[in-house]
Structure formats: structure tokens, C-alpha cells
Structure 1
Amino acid sequence: MTKIKISGGVWSATPTPLTADGRVDVPSVHRLVEHHVTMGVTGLMLAGTCGEGPWLRDAERETVVRTAAAAARGRLRIAVQVTENSATRTLDNVDKAVTWGAEIAVVAQPYFFLNGTVDRQLTYYRDIARRSALPVGFYDRGKASPYVMPESHLLELLTEPNIAMVKDSSLMPAHRDTFLAARKLRPELVLLDGDEFECVSYLQAGYDGLLLGGGIFNAGLAHRIIRAVRAGDATEAARLQARMNDLMLRVYGGPKIECWMTGLKELLVQMKLFSTSTNLLGYPLTDTCRQQITDAVSGADGLGYKADLFEPAQLTGGV
């Protein structure tokens, strides 16, 4: 097992740039890496849900991981989603990720998992943790997955020494409490909040940082939220969270998130990071969403979101 230092801060579950024919856009991968470095991001999670990993061809997943790892040159940690429907298939993905340059293997609830008893879930994750050549990140999607591990077994799982970090997107307070209890037993376990619409309470509870699907554009604001929480300024943290939420809703298409992936990639095209908004998930792009993105990028909204999108973390109160 490879041992690396993993820290908190702001992580990005980055989208994958694609060409018009659905291949990985290699020049855009280089641009997204440089942008993340500029914005002070700690690490990238590649080929996750936001990265369309479950829908990408294997060759495209390899291309995006190899390209990002080479471009990062050790300036960012590189994690990759490796989830499959059995431990052996997942471990095959881990072995591939090693050769591609990944440093952390992220495992979520499997997509299809027959006979998904709690004991079998525990065995699945434990086998991966004990046999993985990379440190493991546990990605908890909570009730967004059909297989939710109860707190008793979750705490038992997190005693595994090769589970190095958690992406908590469960939206379940009981799971948050369990992760914090596990960290008391294993102080080296890094806890990252994956709910970008509610960062403050997780940071106040003691989480080490944030792993955000919008990290490629909201990292500056996310750094400022972390700084405010660590300074004990709850009022400023709440103000910044509300500001970040408003920006995300403008990009994602409003409270129903109707433009999610297409809006996100359209923003990145307008930021000159991606070449196309091509995605595999078929979200629409409304005229309202497109205009709000244009106004934010250009500064025409008068709200100052242009600075939030582009200014380096050290200029926006980053940590």
C-alpha cells in the first residue's frame, strides 16, 4: 500500500472536459489543472459522478487520469473513482489507477449490488481496503444510493487503516456523527464534506475540508468559508455560504438544478477552461441559465461573481 500525506482544505470533484465527439479534451485537462492550482485546491477527484466516470469509456477515464496526473506534477493530490459491482472488479480498477498515476482510490456504494445485506456491504468495502494498492477514500452518497450502511457497521468499517479519507455526501447527520467518532479513534482520517450547499455546519463540527462538485469554480468562496469558520466568525461564514449557493444556482439552473452538468460546462467554456459543453448526461441549458452564466463571467451582474470565479485563493481569503 502506498502511503501519502492527505490533508483537508478544498478538493474538487472535477467535471471531465470532452470534445464534440465525446473524447477527453486533453488541452482542457491541462487548463483545468492549472486553474485548480491557481485557486489553491488541495486535490482532484477524477471520474466521479460530476466527472461522468460511470458513463465514460475506460479509455477516456485512463486519458483523463493520466493527463491530470502528469499535468499536476505533484502540486495536487490525484484521486480517482474506482467503484464497481464487486470487490475484485473494483480492485482491478485500483490496479489500473496506479499505473495511470492516481494516488487515492475512491469507492462509493456500488451501482448494482445483489444480496446487499449489511454484512455483505461491510465485506465488500473491507476487502477493497485491505487489498488496495492505494489509500482508499470512502464516498458516502447516503440515501442517493440504494445501499445505506447503518452507523454501527460504518464505524467498524472506518477502523480499517487503509481508509484514508471520507467524502460525506450522505446528507445524514447520524453518518456525520459516526465519521467524527471514527476520526476520534483514527486522528489521521481526513473528513471532507461533499454537500456544497451546506459546508458551514460540517466545518463547525470538525471536518477537515470540502470536496465539492463545483470546486472548479467555487473554490475561492469555499476557501473563504473555511477561513471564516476557523476564525469563529459564524455570521461571515453563513454570508459566504449564501453567496456561494446563489452563484451555484445561477450556474446549475435554479432550485431544481435543471441545467446541472450542461450549465456547469457552459460556465467552464465561458471561463475559457473547456472547449465545449459536451456531456453524457443530457441536461438542458435554458436561456435564463446561459444569461446568468454570461453575466457572472463578464461581471455584468454587478454582484462581483467574476472575482469569485477567477481570483486566486490567496486574494480571496483562502487558507
Structure 2
Amino acid sequence: MTKKRIAGMVWSATPTPLTQDRRVDVPSVHRLVEHHVKMGVTGLMLAGTCGEGPWLSDRDRETMVRTSAAAAGRRLRIAAQVTDNSAVRTLANIEQVAAWGAEIAVVAQPYFFLNGTADRQLAFYREIARHSPLPVGFYDRGEAGSYVMPETHLAEFLTEPNIVMVKDSSQSPAHRDAFLAARKLRPALVLLDGDEFDCVSYLQAGYDGLLLGGGIFNASLAHRIIRAVRTGDTAGAARLQARMNDLMLRVYGGSGIECWMTGLKELLVQMGIFSTNANLLDYPLTAECRRQIADAVSGADGLGYRADLFEPASANQGTPR
């Protein structure tokens, strides 16, 4: 798989639409795919943290991956999260998602990992990279994961030729430097920032693009941030980042991210993409969060967020307020 094929500007770590009885909602998956295509997204990462992958049943993960891959065709790249507690289990998951239509297997820190020395972490990831039938993406969750790999071992792991992509959600300058150093040695390695509240600094450092949990609704703003950075409009990029952060906080329930998953799915219901805001994590939905979502979708907020939600970046050129 070539860098050109996967290194597009914006990827989406998409949420998974569920019915009220918490099964994958197939019609909503089709709408999800079409919305991402309309917004110029390059690829979908399925069953990640935002996709509730660690909590979905195997049957629902299969439905999500198979339906998304079939609906996308060649229009979107399809990556699937395969993280598990051992290399053996992770490799079995990769065999599954490959059969379901995924093109890239994404692995993060295991959920339960005993004797997690740096050497054992390296051996774990290396075994996966060397035996995976699919190209592998590394999802670095930083301190949010069970163990953090030291930069020395991280650099060694990234020399593996089957590691094609990094989703960097570590919020670690040291890891960012390690990823950039690895890319100098392996120019085909694709670096995607996963910290959607700080896209600008990663793009300025040289990352190839963004892989965002909010990509299903903030892709237009994300594209405009990338364009501003790449044309040297630092002030414009900062204004766009602030605008995107404000929109996300309205959707997620404020600075405490109180409504995160439920707010995100409620937004998608009001946008006509999802049928329900049902999720497996049971985040609350406050009246204030619901109101701010409704105002953004309808345009009643007077801030122009409706255009950011529905119009591709090519059609949304206005100066951020």
C-alpha cells in the first residue's frame, strides 16, 4: 500500500451507529459513509475508541466493518482497530477484519498487559507487525493506555516495514519527535495527528494529516486548518482551531467533555446521519448540550456552524469568526 493512497489530509475515527437495542444500525452506516465521502475524508478508522470497538460484540464489529467497506468501495480507505491482550489474539483479530474488508489493521496499547516491560512491549508490537497479513497502523494513546513505550524502543519498533501509519494521540512532544525521526528514516510512514484540540502544532511540525474522533462533523474545519498551515497562514490556522474547539466543546458538553459519546451521536441524529444516540458507554446528555447542538445544526446560534457541519471545505471558504 503506497503512501499516496493512505496519506490524505483528513481521516475519521468514526463513531458506530447503534439501534435502540444497541446493535449496529446498517442504514445509518450507509449514511455515515456517504457523509464522509461528501466531506472529502480519505479514510475511516472503525471500531476504535470513538467507535466503541473495545465494547462491541464480534458480530457487531463484523457488521460495521463489512457494511462500511462495501458501502465505501474504493472511495474511502478502511482501517479497523484490532487491539487485544496478546499478539496471538491481535493477529486473530487481523485475520478477521481482513476477511471483512479492512485494508489496514490498527493496534494500540493492550487493554490488559502484565509484565509490561519496555522489551516485552517491543516484542508484542514487533510480532504483530511481522506476522500481520495487513499493513499495520500504530495508535499511540500515550498516558491513556496501560503502558507507554519509551522513545528508544518506539524508534526501534517503527523501523518495521509493515508499520505504515501512526495515529498520534499521545500528546507527548517526545513521542512526536520520535515519530518524525522515524519518518525521516522511512519516508513512506504516514503520520496523522489524533489530538483534535491541537492540530496546528502537529501539522506545523510536519505531520501528513489528521485522524480525528470528531472527523465525521469537523472534517470541513480540519481541511481548512490544514490548508491554512500549508499556505503559511498561522493566524488563520489558529483562528480555525479555536473555532473547531468551540464547536467540539458545544457537542461534547463543555470543557469537562461531560456528554462526549452521547452528545456526538445526538449531533449526528440531528444532522440526519444516525437514527439514535444510543451508545455502550452511557454518557449523559444535558439539556444545555442538546440545545447547543440544535442551535448549531439549525443555524440558530448565528455563528455559522451549520455550514461547517454540512459544507465541504471547498465550499466553505469564509473567514472564521
TM-score by length of 1: 0.98
Q: For the residues of structure 2 that align with 1:62 and 1:90, how far apart are their CA atoms?
A: 15
Q: For the residues of structure 2 that align with 1:47 and 1:82, how far apart are their CA atoms?
A: 8
CA contact (8 A) 1:28 1:274 kept: yes
CA contact (8 A) 1:265 1:278 kept: yes
1:251 partner amino acid: V
2:31 aligned with 1:24: no
For residue 44 of structure 2, give the secondary structure of its aligned residue in structure 1: strand
Q: For the residues of structure 1 that align with 2:31 and 2:21, how far apart are their CA atoms?
A: 20
CA contact (8 A) 1:252 1:260 kept: yes
- After superposition, give the CA deviation of every residue in 1:116-150 in whole Å (9 maximum; x if it has no partner): 11000000000000000110000000001120001
**Residue 168 of structure 2 corresponds to which residue in structure 1?**
168
Task: Quote the sequence identity (%).
Answer: 79
For residue 247 of structure 1, give the secondary structure of its aligned residue in structure 2: helix
- After superposition, give the CA deviation of every residue in 1:259-292 in whole Å (9 maximum; x if it has no partner): 0000000000000000000000010000000000
CA contact (8 A) 1:8 1:190 kept: no
**Residue 113 of structure 1 corresponds to which residue in structure 2?**
113
Which runs of 4 or more aligned residues in structure 1 lie more than 4 Å from their structure 2 counterparts after TM superposition?
none
CA contact (8 A) 1:8 1:191 kept: no
Q: For the residues of structure 2 that align with 1:142 and 1:135, how far apart are their CA atoms?
A: 22
**Residue 153 of structure 1 corresponds to which residue in structure 2?**
153
**Residue 231 of structure 2 corresponds to which residue in structure 1?**
231
2:271 aligned with 1:271: yes
Q: For the residues of structure 2 that align with 1:235 and 1:93, how far apart are their CA atoms?
A: 44
Give 1:312 deviation, angstroms: 1.8
CA contact (8 A) 1:191 1:209 kept: yes
Q: For the residues of structure 2 that align with 1:259 and 1:244, how far apart are their CA atoms?
A: 17
1:148 partner amino acid: V
For residue 246 of structure 1, give the secondary structure of its aligned residue in structure 2: helix
For residue 297 of structure 2, give the secondary structure of its aligned residue in structure 1: helix
RMSD over aligned CA atoms reads 1.1
Q: For the residues of structure 1 that align with 2:164 and 2:174, how far apart are their CA atoms?
A: 20
Q: For the residues of structure 2 that align with 1:169 and 1:8, how far apart are their CA atoms?
A: 18
Which blocks of at least 5 consecutive residues in structure 1 are unaligned? none
CA contact (8 A) 2:47 2:61 kept: yes
CA contact (8 A) 1:191 1:207 kept: yes
Q: For the residues of structure 1 that align with 2:316 and 2:210, how far apart are their CA atoms?
A: 17
For residue 137 of structure 1, give the secondary structure of its aligned residue in structure 2: strand
Q: For the residues of structure 2 that align with 1:109 and 1:50, how far apart are their CA atoms?
A: 15
For residue 80 of structure 2, give the secondary structure of its aligned residue in structure 1: strand
Q: For the residues of structure 2 that align with 1:315 and 1:72, how far apart are their CA atoms?
A: 23
**Residue 251 of structure 2 corresponds to which residue in structure 1?**
251
CA contact (8 A) 2:112 2:146 kept: no
1:94 partner amino acid: I
Which blocks of at least 5 consecutive residues in structure 2 are unaligned? none
**Residue 125 of structure 1 corresponds to which residue in structure 2?**
125
For residue 196 of structure 2, give the secondary structure of its aligned residue in structure 1: coil
Q: For the residues of structure 1 that align with 2:314 and 2:55, how far apart are their CA atoms?
A: 36
- After superposition, give the CA deviation of every residue in 1:221-241 in whole Å (9 maximum; x if it has no partner): 000000000000000000000
CA contact (8 A) 2:6 2:43 kept: no
For these two proteins, the number of residue pairs brought into alignment is: 317
TM-score by length of 2: 0.97
**What does residue range 59-138 of structure 1 map to in structure 2 within 5 Å?**
59-138=59-138
CA contact (8 A) 2:45 2:81 kept: yes
For residue 164 of structure 2, give the secondary structure of its aligned residue in structure 1: strand
2:246 partner amino acid: D
Give 1:3 deviation, angstroms: 6.6
Q: For the residues of structure 1 that align with 2:150 and 2:23, how far apart are their CA atoms?
A: 39
